[in-house]
A and B are shown apart, each in its own frame.
Chain A
Amino acid sequence: MLAKRIIPCLDIKDGQTVKGVNFLDIKNVGDPVELGALYAQQGADELVFLDITASHEKRKTLVELVQRIARHINIPFTVGGGVSELADADALLAAGCDKLSINSAVVRNPKLIDQMANGFGSQFVVVAIDAKLDCGKWTVFVNGGRIATDKELFTWAKEAESRGAGEILFTSMNHDGVKTGFACEAIAQLSESLSIPVIASGGAGSMEHFKDVFTYGKADAGLAASIFHFKEIAIPDLKKYLADQGITMRI
């Protein structure tokens, strides 16, 4: 059976991993390649590297870093942050990146999803969506959660899928960094309305939260950062716990 995936996310700023609490107040936690290799060794199923300041500072994601990651890490990885042109995507693919996460650029220019899917295949295109629940409505935000848009989570995810996205990485801004559990209800709704995999992000604070997101939340993958970086949960322990709960895990 296809296993549910555990994905540590390494937010990167100036070549170092960081984790923001509710996207602000950034703290430093280490070298991305070293940390990524360690996670891979511990049983992480995939890795996500997000250059969180890239879109704000209009800085291109570091192709060199991607190549260093690709050389050293033997599991799939996604890179995102500030990718806004086909040429960027091409350069990252050539450097050895397996998947590209695109967020703000495709909200502004949705056709970029079609172009990337046609050019590189849907499997390369992860559409990341940061959304915030306010007065019963999930509003999509861009630029690292700084700017609200007129898009709504579910309709935007559906559009992204129909344009050729291979996966949706959904981060609940209400839950991110708070460690009180994932936004399971919204994730389940997303997962049921889409035929492509959904990566749940935002809110992981305990092993039980992962169980919930894979059962109630119907997520295909669970993503977290700080609980892994700060060694609050070890990946082997988490995967063993989830397997014991009857969830298919690669162990």
Chain B
Amino acid sequence: MNIAIIKYNAGNIRSVEFALQRLGIQAEITADPERIKSADKVIFPGVGEAFNTMKYLREHKLDELIVSLKQPVLGICLGLQLMCRHSEEGDTECLGIFDEEVKRFINVREENGYKVPQMGWNTISGLQTMLFDASLDNPYVYFVHSYYATIGSHTIATTQYTQSFSAALHKNNFYATQFHPEKSGPVGAQILKNFIEL
């Protein structure tokens, strides 16, 4: 099995590579369009800022490439946000795979103790698709984010933080998680494994 992790100007891509290695899977971190196109599965990870990252993707024509992929693709964190239509972060036009809008958490700390970013372990529920098998019962997964995707027709998991938001999205061959499966212990490993086995 050929797994490509898209290499771009985002942070901590190696964590995904290491997480796959722990599952006994050797992935390739690459920006080569041909390698990405011919891979069995593609992972689009990301930690960073939306505007500059989209700019980078456009400059390197990775935006067109990602949208055109036919094999299962998994976006992670910023990857999910960039696969949406638009992000409030830098008022950025994104890839538009999912119709959902990306908004900033409004800090309502004074009333409810919410902080921004949401940093830490929260539960996901309403789980749909094969990304989440039946053994995953409202599990805790690890989040670090200040922006979230709204809930829409592509939502396959939700999380509650200041309000309900999309913890995962799915449309055709495209999957995405706002949380970091590569950092979410055994639960995250299971979700990565489920993606690989799609």
Q: Which residues of A contact B (CB under 8 A)?
A: 1-5, 40, 45-46, 70-72, 74-76, 93-98, 120-124, 166-167, 194-197, 218, 220-221, 250
- On whether the beta carbons of A122 and B118 are closer than 8 Å, the reply is no
A98 touches which one: B117, B140, B146, B183 (CB < 8 A)? B183
- On whether the beta carbons of B115 and A196 are closer than 8 Å, the reply is yes
Q: In the complex, what's the smallest C-beta–C-beta distance from A127 to chain B, in angstroms?
A: 14
In the bound complex, how far is the Cα of B119 from the Cα of A197, in angstroms? 7
**Which secondary structure characterizes the binding site on chain A?**
loop
- On whether the beta carbons of B18 and A5 are closer than 8 Å, the reply is no
- On whether the beta carbons of A40 and B120 are closer than 8 Å, the reply is no
**Which secondary structure characterizes the binding site on chain B?**
mixed
- On whether the beta carbons of B113 and A218 are closer than 8 Å, the reply is yes
In the bound complex, how far is the Cα of B142 from the Cα of A45, in angstroms? 9
In the bound complex, how far is the Cα of B14 from the Cα of A70, in angstroms? 8
- On whether the beta carbons of A2 and B161 are closer than 8 Å, the reply is yes
Q: In the complex, what's the smallest C-beta–C-beta distance from B74 to chain A, in angstroms?
A: 17
Q: Which chain A residue has the least Cβ–Cβ distance from B118?
A: A2
Q: Which of A71, A124, A221, A250 has the most CB of B within 10 A?
A: A250
How extensive is the interface on chain B, given as a class?
35 or more
Q: Which chain B residue has the least Cβ–Cβ distance from A69?
A: B18
- On whether the beta carbons of A124 and B119 are closer than 8 Å, the reply is no
- Flag whether B189 is at the interface (Cβ < 8 A): yes
Q: In the complex, what's the smallest C-beta–C-beta distance from B120 to chain A, in angstroms?
A: 5
- On whether the beta carbons of B120 and A2 are closer than 8 Å, the reply is yes
Q: Which residues of A contact B119 (CB under 8 A)?
A: 123, 166-167, 197, 220
- On whether the beta carbons of A196 and B11 are closer than 8 Å, the reply is no
Instruction: Give residues of chain B (115-138) contacting chain A, Cβ–Cβ below 8 Å.
Output: 115-123
In the bound complex, how far is the Cα of B185 from the Cα of A46, in angstroms? 10
In the bound complex, how far is the Cα of B144 from the Cα of A122, in angstroms? 10
Q: Which residues of A contact B118 (CB under 8 A)?
A: 2
Given contacts A93-B11, A166-B119, A250-B121, 18 further A-B contacts (CB under 8 A): A5-B121, A46-B120, A74-B188, A75-B184, A94-B14, A98-B12, A98-B15, A120-B11, A120-B48, A121-B11, A121-B49, A122-B117, A123-B47, A195-B109, A196-B115, A196-B117, A197-B115, A220-B120
